[in-house]
């Protein structure tokens, strides 16, 4: 019984993740320049964007080894002009892509997004069924219980660095996320 349930879960995760990865290449080609620009900002930009903070960053490891993981968090600001999150870097992940899950006619799909806006009183929430950051090529050193450095780059070049907790993905959580 147990192995059947696990196999079903694995199959579900793989299907969802395959769909996710299948969508990635096309926007990637055009978005590569933008991503590079985000990764190499003005050297004079402050390391911590003024008035911007990241709440509860959590990395969920994949249920299947080698599959993508996911990063959830909320990014907010307490003053100043609206901001745009342009890129996310996670230590120990080869690639971190911002995605948005959408449900239309009962079908959930996800697409890469290049920019997510937030402003005072309107934080951007990265959570199951919504925006999330997909993590590809996760190193074996990224394990449950560890803290991993995560850097958020804004469109203006400002950055915010913090540490994310690493957790195993819960079976139900994994299902919900991809249903």
Based on CB atoms, which residue is closest to Cu ion, 20 or 49? 20
CB of 48 to Cu ion, least distance (A): 27
CB of 140 to Cu ion, least distance (A): 22
CB of 21 to Cu ion, least distance (A): 8
Question: What phi and psi values does residue 84 have, to the nearest 5 degrees?
Answer: -130, 125
Based on CB atoms, which residue is closest to Cu ion, 60 or 99? 99
DSSP secondary structure letter of residue 142: -
Task: Compute the Cα dihedral for 126, 93, 99, 178 and give only its sign.
Answer: negative
Contact partners, residue 125, CB within 8 Å, separation at least 6: 74, 131
The residues of the shown chain that bind Cu ion, judged by CB under 5 A, are 20, 99, 110, 134
Whole-number Å distance between alpha carbons of 34 and 41: 11
CB of 20 to Cu ion, least distance (A): 4
Q: Which residue is nearest to Cu ion (CB)?
A: 99
Based on CB atoms, which residue is closest to Cu ion, 20 or 67? 20
Based on CB atoms, which residue is closest to Cu ion, 20 or 155? 20
* Residue pair 162/58 in contact by the 8 Å Cβ criterion: no
Whole-number Å distance between alpha carbons of 121 and 138: 33
Based on CB atoms, which residue is closest to Cu ion, 118 or 131? 131
CB of 37 to Cu ion, least distance (A): 22
Neighbours of 6 (CB within 10 A): 12
Whole-number Å distance between alpha carbons of 42 and 49: 13
């Amino acid at each position: 019984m147990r192995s059947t349930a696990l196999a079903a879960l694995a199959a579900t995760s793989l299907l969802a993740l395959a769909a996710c990865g299948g969508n990635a290449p096309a926007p990637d080609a055009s978005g590569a320049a933008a991503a590079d620009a985000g990764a190499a900002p003005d050297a004079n930009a402050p390391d911590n964007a003024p008035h911007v903070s990241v709440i509860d960053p959590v990395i969920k490891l994949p249920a299947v080894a080698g599959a993508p993981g996911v990063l959830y968090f909320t990014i907010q600001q307490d003053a100043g002009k609206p901001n745009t999150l342009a890129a996310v870097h996670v230590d120990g992940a080869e690639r971190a892509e911002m995605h948005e899950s959408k449900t239309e006619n009962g079908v959930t799909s996800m697409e890469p997004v290049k920019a997510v806006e937030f402003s005072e009183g309107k934080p951007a929430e990265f959570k199951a069924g919504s925006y999330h950051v997909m993590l590809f090529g996760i190193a074996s050193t990224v394990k449950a219980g560890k803290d991993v450095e995560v850097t958020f780059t804004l469109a203006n070049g400002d950055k915010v660095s913090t540490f994310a907790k690493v957790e195993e993905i819960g079976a139900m959580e994994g299902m919900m996320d991809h249903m």
